[in-house]
Structure 1
Amino acid sequence: MNSGQFFKRMKFYYFPIFLLLLLLLLTSLRLHGSSVGIYNYFFYGSDKDPNLIYGHPRGIRSDEWLVLTPWTVSQVHNDFKPESSIYLAGQNFLFSDVPTKHWSTIFKPQNLVFLILPVEYAFSFKWWFKGFLLIFSLYLIFMLITNENYFISIMGSIAAFFTPTIQWWYSTFAPETISFAALALYFFIQAVQKMAKKERWGLNLFLFSYFAICFGFIFYPPFQIPSGLTILTIGGLYLLLVSKKHSIKPMLVPILGALSVIIFTGMLFYIQNKDPIYKITNTSYPGKRFSLGKDASFLPKVIYGFYNLQLLYDRNIVPPILGNQSEASSFSPTSLLLLPLLGIVIASSTKRNSPEKLLTAGCAAIPVLLFVWGIFGLPQFLAKALLLQYVPPSRSIPYLAVMNIVGCVYFLTASKYVDQSQKLDILRIVSIIYVFLFVLAIGIHLREKYPQYIYNPLKILVISSANAVLAGALAFRKEKTAMGMLLLLSFISSAQVNPIYRGLSPLQNSEVISELPARKNDVVFASYYPWLTNYLAANGFRVLNGTYYFPNVDFWHSFDPNGDYLHIYNRYAHIFLTHTNDPDQITISLMQQDVVQIEISPCNKKLEEIGVNHFLSNFPLENVSCLNEKSVIRLPNTTLYIYENPSVIYK
């Protein structure tokens, strides 16, 4: 390798190195985007939060601040064991995105750092590592698509990171699912390329196997299946194309060997965890949740995505059909509107038999399939064969958002091989006008039907014009304008979704914790204040209720001896307690798909039998002769009451 080739190769790594340094800097400052500051609001109201650097906590992101973050911090007190004894009914964290000391954590790189660093630094690292991995993985994919166009690859990968639906769903598995799928696909293609050229391929095939296993260990089919179908489609088509120029027989043995390693690892995990897998797959939710496709909210969520900017403002009332802010989040689907033009561009390619045509068809196949699934549904046999019955259409939107960016990148790349003609120029101009009028019509429709969501006609005109500029830049292959506008639209629609916060102090508030009893194994809490159940667990207190990834049916059966409520509590659920004056009454009800409410008195014999001896509430408990009031914690925005049942000893 001469010096010119060396520096060209080094240029490839400049952007990833910059991302890595930024990741380390943010980690060292303990900064992250969690909405954990919501606890500060619970305690102190609107008083300025000294650790809030930018933005504000999002109450709607409760799956993060109420569940995942407290679960993660609770593991410090559980020595990161897969099964947590902090939750009285038992909690198995192997299937969640929570750090554990288990061999499968090797394939959850975002969680490995918790076994090395203090929790605040590890949490910060994980938060930004998810973004680093997404940007890096798509950078690699875009470098392949564009034949190493650095500008398009860098801008496109950053635009994907700032896509609204990615930011609103950032704390979920969505970023990792796409990242691991992209990395597995990239290293598979690299391995096949090197085998075809008879170069060293071992490292690439190893990395393909590793990231494919990482992808498999996400354990969230609604996100995994669209990306998995894409890996199979593109990987299979690429292998087919290579087979036309090279013999693939020598490649089959190493490829089958890699697939065997992936299957063996999955089977080993399954054999070791058959019981929890059986329990999860047989829960009422999500185990028995099957989608029929044809979701009335799917198409509005996609096409209203042009106006995702409005979701940033809590005062705006989200159209009811879209659900809440997170559920409503989407993307600006400009490249999807240009699909007909892209098809004509590819068909007009000067490379008449180019592989790009087949790969383009493969890239478009799964998004088109998902649109058909979401809008019209599919025959049951086909939905089962493709596993789409496990994919509620709205859960495919993060995948479609990233494929929209891929479409923009592909559009710029494919246009290089098109003969310039007046007919195509006319089609391009028509497409630009079509995009402008379409986005404008959506804005006018929203203004007329949901004026409390968007009313300003100037804003509608600006958003329509910006998308028309993006469409024009894509159509006429103006790379800098196109990628600049794509990044701008993504950034302004999502930059304020998550706050910038320092540390985890609200979750470990010393003023509250100092008033609670000393953490001992014989102290067991039940909380009548639902927002602080997992908070107690995060501080090492053993708790009855909280959020359970899947239920211990035998445990909850003691509250329901006849099994009348099994269909209610046999699910992933937040367990809320409500107070009743009747010490013998137990009523279990389903408040929403993932919220189970148990109406029970603190003096109920069942609570005594299982050893619950402390109670937390944000209101005085009445008719509780079995309890002693232990302390009252008066804070600016709330008052917490701590009670003890001195006759109960947990064993």
Structure 2
Amino acid sequence: MQKISWRCALIGIWIITALVYIGNTWSPSSYAYPLRNNYAYVDIKPTLGQARPIRADEWGVVTPLTQATVRNQFERYNKTSLYQEDLRINYGLPIADWGLAFKPTMWLYGLVNPAYAYSFHWFAVFTLFITGYAFLFTRFGASKANAILLSFGLYFTGFSQFWWNEKGPILAIFPWVIMPFLLNLRLRWQLIWFYYAAVFWLLTNFYPPVQISLAFAGFVLLAAKQPRLFQPRTLMLVLVAAALAAGTVGIYLYDYLSATSATIYPGSRHSMGGGVGGRFVISWIFPSINFSWVYNSLIGLNISEIGTVGMYYYIAALFFLDYKNFSLLGLDRAKRRVLLVLVAGLTVQLLWMLLPIPSVFGKILLWDHVEPARMQYASGVLLTIIVLYVASVVGLTFSLGRLLLLCTFVCVGWWLFKYPLGTKRGEDLFILLPLVLLYLFARKRNDLAHEGLALASLIFGAVLFGRFNPLQSAWPIFNLPPNEVVKYLQDQEEKNNGVLVFPHLHAATANGLGFRALSHTNAVPPMAFWNRHFPDTPTNERNAIFNRYAHVVPDLMPRPRLQQTDAVQVPMDRFVNVAHANVVTHFPDNLSQEGGFEVSARYKDALVLHGWAGWTSAPEGHGLEVVTYPPTIGTVQFTPMVRADLPLNTQQRISALNGFKVMIPHAENAPLQCISLVSLDAQSGERRLLNNPAEVPTCPSTSLRGSIPSTPLGNPPQDFAR
């Protein structure tokens, strides 16, 4: 009766939580970041926490493409996009086709406001994670309470949280793929469940590096716990079901897979072993040594890249193991076999992560498609189950001496691995508090020792990692009235024959807001489009730049270029009539100064600047006068730019719409040695001199005009255009 009461209480808590979460349309999205920083929706912010710019895969791609799918009436081809691309891509989207049958977390789209459907999707993913891993842990010896604690503990680890709002479905659905084989079901029902869950897993977010490594982890877990599956007849049926699942996904994603296989990125991407440094392995037992309390990386890589599955549960369990019972593992053949299989699987993964193994050897397990750092989650799952299994078989025992040794170990680890990085923060030492409190609570109740350690580790993980993802309402994601900036962009789109060409509208965010924008993220490169617009670029160079998964970044620049592996920059003037700045030889020496500029980019034959000016008119009335020495040799391009760090009010001199970019061409052998920019307000006729950055010399005004030499000005501080 008591068990039933606890179960009912848990179900009741879950239902209430779901109603509150979905009722408020909450989500883990960081979409407030582009709304605030690119579109000047300065009042939109998370209910709790803060939007993370590093999570651009979510706010710049997955969420905007979900918006685009909704605007596209859930059709397969994106009619709202300039590129008219196929939305059957690696990111699972709520397209109204037969694939939706395998995406149950997205079934509310089209039935309710998409904000509720979006929120339901993320709450369902969270629920799948907690319940799926809790089930998995019970099959390896955890009590139901401990299984739930460890499931939450795995959720509050670096890899899970730092990648959650994009790769969360991959992590959450995995245990449901192998779950049927751990249940007492007829084989036919196991195979049907396995087939559906595998397709669900692959279609909701297709990302082979994590899924291949998790598939290996699943193989190891089943080999350890269910060896009967590897009897020839049964194994053959399982392989047939796996092939059918892969075939279903292959049919659905055929166009995407065949197109990307011929790309430079990701089609030509292959990995070899190694590259996971020692600090990453150490962070499995000291979870926060590589970053600060506010998620600043301390080792150079960005915060997502340093996420691992680290929990204090691992070392806490090792310190409190009842070692006199270790013979139970050695004497019991079945238990010994389970442990050996688990350890062997983890060892093989560690070898791939740590050693420079040639990619040809990785092909056996498809690991040549698995960047070693992406294997960290799968190896963390195996490590968690190994520690859980050993602790469940051997048992734990509390003593003050062991507690003191553990606390000393934690302090020494912090001193050795965190303190030398220059930070005096003590977030790593917070674990000592829950450890001591739970020891005092459970020291005379060894039957609660395991749950106590899991709870202490969970408390630390929740405090440390639980603040990373925000609690963001999805209502403004799908129900956003246009503000002044969006209205201006709509006007620009209309004036350019229905195509928006504007700088710094990151990734697919413009299309998500309904624009037919040049700025976009193309999972499949539209090579015919690029061939048509850049016929003068040599074929090999054009292929090297554009034949890849890429964010399209329009900008003022002389020619297209590859900005980074997944981003290409394209000249705006190929797609829109770019305004021209006035080239003048001098400016009055009595101008007031307001605004300023910085250097954006340097090319061999051009310099690009960005800044803001004190215009009082609408952007159509903004003008710019440019003085350079040596004199510029061509047309100076000039475009507005949203400055969301400024107020959203065009009637003020300091306005979000008063940003600009300017490209000044120069001869390759005659770089610019001085620049002066003067803002011209067409409405009032006012001129103001913009402030130069320290590294850019100012050209002489009218009063010094006669002093301009026929050769470059004296000896300037540096040739800043190089």
Same fold (TM over 0.5): yes
What 5-or-longer segments of structure 1 have no aligned partner? 196-200, 607-616, 644-651
| Structure 2 residue 59 is matched with structure 1 residue 88 | no
| Structure 2 residue 513 is matched with structure 1 residue 534 | no
Q: 1:426-460, CA deviations, whole angstroms, 9 ceiling, x for partnerless residues?
A: 9x978x77765654444224445421xx214x555
| Structure 2 residue 117 is matched with structure 1 residue 122 | yes
Which structure 2 residues correspond to residues 311-326 of structure 1 after superposition, within 5 A? 311=291, 313-314=293-294, 317-321=296-300, 323-326=301-304
What 5-or-longer segments of structure 2 have no aligned partner? 579-609, 613-621, 625-633, 650-654, 662-722
Q: 1:221-249, CA deviations, whole angstroms, 9 ceiling, x for partnerless residues?
A: 11111210122222234342589xxxx68
Specify the SS of the correspondent of 1:58: coil
Match of 1:635 among 644, 648, 652: 648
Q: Partners of 1:304 and 1:359 in 2: how far apart?
A: 26
8 Å contact from structure 1 (residues 183, 211) kept in 2? yes
**Whose helix proportion is higher, 1 or 2?**
1
| Structure 2 residue 162 is matched with structure 1 residue 182 | no
The code of the aligned residue for 1:593 comes to T
Specify the SS of the correspondent of 2:501: strand
Specify the SS of the correspondent of 1:91: coil
Give the match for residue 168 of structure 1. 162
Task: Give the root-mean-square deviation of aligned CA atoms.
Answer: 4.2
How much has 1:257 moved relative to structure 2? 4.9
Specify the SS of the correspondent of 1:517: helix
Give the match for residue 235 of structure 1. 222
The code of the aligned residue for 2:453 comes to A
Give the match for residue 424 of structure 2. 455
Q: Partners of 2:529 and 2:31 in 1: how far apart?
A: 30
8 Å contact from structure 1 (residues 526, 545) kept in 2? yes
Q: Partners of 1:138 and 1:632 in 2: how far apart?
A: 45
Q: Partners of 1:618 and 1:101 in 2: how far apart?
A: 44
Specify the SS of the correspondent of 1:293: coil
The code of the aligned residue for 1:57 comes to A
How much has 1:20 moved relative to structure 2? 4.7
Which structure 2 residues correspond to residues 2-401 of structure 1 after superposition, within 5 A? 15=10, 18-42=13-37, 49=44, 52-94=46-88, 95-146=90-141, 149-173=143-167, 175-190=168-183, 193-195=184-186, 203-217=189-203, 218-240=205-227, 252=233, 256-257=236-237, 259-271=239-251, 273-295=253-275, 297-304=276-283, 306-308=286-288, 311=291, 313-314=293-294, 317-321=296-300, 323-334=301-312, 348-349=327-328, 352-378=331-357, 380-401=359-380
The code of the aligned residue for 1:544 comes to L
The code of the aligned residue for 1:87 comes to S
Q: Partners of 2:75 and 2:181 in 1: how far apart?
A: 34
The code of the aligned residue for 1:226 comes to S
TM-score by length of 1: 0.78
The code of the aligned residue for 1:540 comes to G
Q: Partners of 1:641 and 1:98 in 2: how far apart?
A: 35
Compared CA separation, residues 10 and 81, structure 1 to 2 (3 A)? farther
Q: Partners of 1:400 and 1:471 in 2: how far apart?
A: 29
Q: 1:234-293, CA deviations, whole angstroms, 9 ceiling, x for partnerless residues?
A: 2234342589xxxx68xx46x755653442343244346444212212322222222212
8 Å contact from structure 2 (residues 195, 245) kept in 1? no
Compared CA separation, residues 446 and 529, structure 1 to 2 (3 A)? same
Specify the SS of the correspondent of 2:328: coil
Compared CA separation, residues 343 and 567, structure 1 to 2 (3 A)? farther
Kindly name which structure, 1 or 2, has the bigger radius of gyration based on alpha carbons. Answer: 2
Compared CA separation, residues 9 and 377, structure 1 to 2 (3 A)? farther
| Structure 2 residue 544 is matched with structure 1 residue 571 | no
Specify the SS of the correspondent of 2:47: strand
Larger deviation, residues 40-49 vs 232-241: 40-49
8 Å contact from structure 2 (residues 162, 304) kept in 1? yes
How much has 1:484 moved relative to structure 2? 1.4
Compared CA separation, residues 604 and 526, structure 1 to 2 (3 A)? closer
Q: Partners of 1:120 and 1:573 in 2: how far apart?
A: 27
| Structure 2 residue 463 is matched with structure 1 residue 492 | yes
TM-score by length of 2: 0.71
8 Å contact from structure 2 (residues 154, 309) kept in 1? no
Match of 2:517 among 543, 547, 551: 543
Q: Partners of 2:54 and 2:467 in 1: how far apart?
A: 14
Q: Quick one: percent identity of the two aligned structures?
A: 19
